A and B are shown apart, each in its own frame.
Chain A
Amino acid sequence: MQLGIESGMATYSTNEFKSGLKIMIDNAPCNIVENEFVKPGKGQAFNRVKIRNLITGRVVEKTFKSGESVEAADVMEDDYQYLYNDGEAYHFMHPTSFEQVAADNNAVGDAAKWLKEEDVVMLTLWNDNPISVTPPNFVELDVVETDPGLKGDTSGSGGKPATLSTGAVVRVPLFVQIGETIKCDTRSGEYVSRVK
């Protein structure tokens, strides 16, 4: 990373581009998902990148002339423990510095339905403010509501919806009952197993 002397901003040159690099595009922090260097036999070289806007989650393609500089985004990702929701914001604590941060509904988004107090999640912070929350790949949650279902049907063929303690609704096999704890995959939103 170089310091642009005139502006005092940190910038990256296209030859530093790689997936995972965080850059500012149209005033929004973005993550480079894919970087392709294109150099015709004779002609201008380009870097064509797929970038994810870290605020909206949208992925777009963008092309830069090789050698151009792009402002770096002050984005960092770290593990935080989820504490509680006070109705206005979700509160998290860094496990070693004990520093606390609050994230609003926009930042938490869909992750809210997987947040269980004391679970460790990954926060993405831009200029020290949380902009997104990534829950653990697997979470264990209690079933608070589901149809009692048919006794003896253990095939799990059809399944039924179950509401979990966090408000998430997942399809579970018919044998799963209220009060039981189940393991879910937060990436697919699917039931994995019962937890004894």
Chain B
Amino acid sequence: MKKLPAKNECWRPSAAITALRQRAELLCCIRQFFADQKVWEVDPPLLAQFGVSDPHLDNFCADFGDRRYLQTSPEYAMKRLLAAGSGDIYSLGKAFRPDEQGQHHNAEFTLLEWYRIGWNHHQLMDEVAALVCMILGCNQPEKWTYCQLFEDFVGCNPITASDTELDQTMRQHRLEDVLVATGERDDKLAMLMHYVIEPQIGQHAPCFVYDYPASQAALARLSKDDSKVAERFELYYQGVELANGYHELTDPEAQASRFRTDNQIRERLEKAQVNSDWRLISALESGLPDCAGVALGVDRLLMLKLGCATIAEVLPFAWDRA
């Protein structure tokens, strides 16, 4: 068992000073990358009037008479900028997700998010690959569809498999205890992804997973050719989930409907309802240009670059020392 450091040592940074210097270099490097691509930096507000609708995310709240929400990502604000005609933009700043604490999680973390006008998710994956390969000096990423991964590594089709089939598959992979805790179908898929697929992909080169089941679309548009899949991707490398991107949903009605669905799921999970950010809907009504966007965990990128096992090793002061 790891012993806690003596109380009088807790003033010290969680990361080595050398790691923090490399952190500064990494931030510099990212800004240079986007300057070269003519993508300009924006810094959206962290304390906004609306929170996130995603049923599995929560906001830290701050009350100043009216309630404000520390943002889980700059997505809503950036889409409003895009709708207002900003063109290609990126944001490099803090994001907050309460209760997310672990080897790869710190409730306050650094997120790089960017949007490309007129691009689809495949074009954006190419740019993510260029940035990640430049920083990590790694091999070119592989690309797999979500369905292909499940068929090859788990032995079932994630969209057509029955619930019974999924339960059996989880038992086959010795995930009985996980099965007991998971209610929703997407939780089961996510756990099979985590425990069965992730350890087998992205070891020697980063791995993009794309075209997720529509039920996991989040804010991605559904594919024109197959409405059962969403144009969403994630990037995995050496057991770390590094980025999550979408060919963005631009239809205001579809967006409003997803807000409603999120609140229905929240009700099922006995979680508080969320006031939907009507400013985002208005922005979409005014016209969000066709675009693709991605969010990338900067602390995790640095972990991979420095070969650190925990996120605390790359943070000046991790959650327990902040």
Give chain A's interface residues, CB within 8 Å of chain B: 15, 19-20, 36-46, 48, 60-67
Contacts and interface: CB of A to CB of B under 8 A. Distances in A.
Interface string B51-79: 00010100000000000000000000000
A45 B181 contact: no
A6 to B, nearest CB: 17
B234 interface: yes
A94 B162 CA distance: 59
A39 B102 CA distance: 9
Contact of B2 (A19, A46, A63): A19
A125 to B, nearest CB: 19
B122 interface: no
A43 B100 contact: no
A60 to B, nearest CB: 7
Contacts of A61: 177
A72 B103 CA distance: 24
A18 B234 CA distance: 29
B321 to A, nearest CB: 15
A41 B244 contact: yes
Contacts of A63: 177-178, 180-182
Interface stretch (B28-36, B112-120, B123-131, B188-196): B188-196
Contacts of B218: 42
B253 interface: no
Interface in B176-223: 177-178, 180-182, 184, 186-187, 190-191, 193-194, 216, 218
Nearest to A16: B101
Given A40-B194, A41-B244, A60-B177, 12 more contacts: A15-B99, A19-B1, A36-B103, A37-B100, A37-B102, A38-B102, A42-B54, A42-B56, A42-B244, A46-B178, A61-B177, A64-B181
A45 B184 CA distance: 12
A42 B184 CA distance: 13
- Residue with the highest number of chain A CB atoms closer than 10 Å, among B2, B178, B234, B244: B178
Nearest to A41: B244
A42 to B, nearest CB: 5
Contact of A36 (B102, B184, B244): B102
Contacts of A40: 190-191, 193-194, 241
Interface of B: 1-2, 54, 56, 99-103, 105, 177-178, 180-182, 184, 186-187, 190-191, 193-194, 216, 218, 234, 241, 244
B1 A43 contact: no
Contacts of A64: 181
Contacts of A15: 99, 101
- Residue with the highest number of chain B CB atoms closer than 10 Å, among A36, A64, A66: A66
Contacts of A67: 99
A21 B100 CA distance: 19
7 contacts: A20-B1, A39-B100, A40-B193, A41-B234, A43-B190, A44-B190, A63-B181
B56 A44 contact: yes
Contacts of A46: 178, 181-182, 191
Contacts of A45: 56, 99-100
- Residue with the highest number of chain A CB atoms closer than 10 Å, among B2, B191, B193, B216: B191
Contacts of A39: 100, 102, 105
A42 B53 CA distance: 12
Contacts of B182: 44, 46, 63
Contacts of A37: 100-103, 105
A67 B56 CA distance: 11
B100 A41 contact: no
A66 B99 contact: yes
Nearest to A43: B190
A45 B100 CA distance: 8
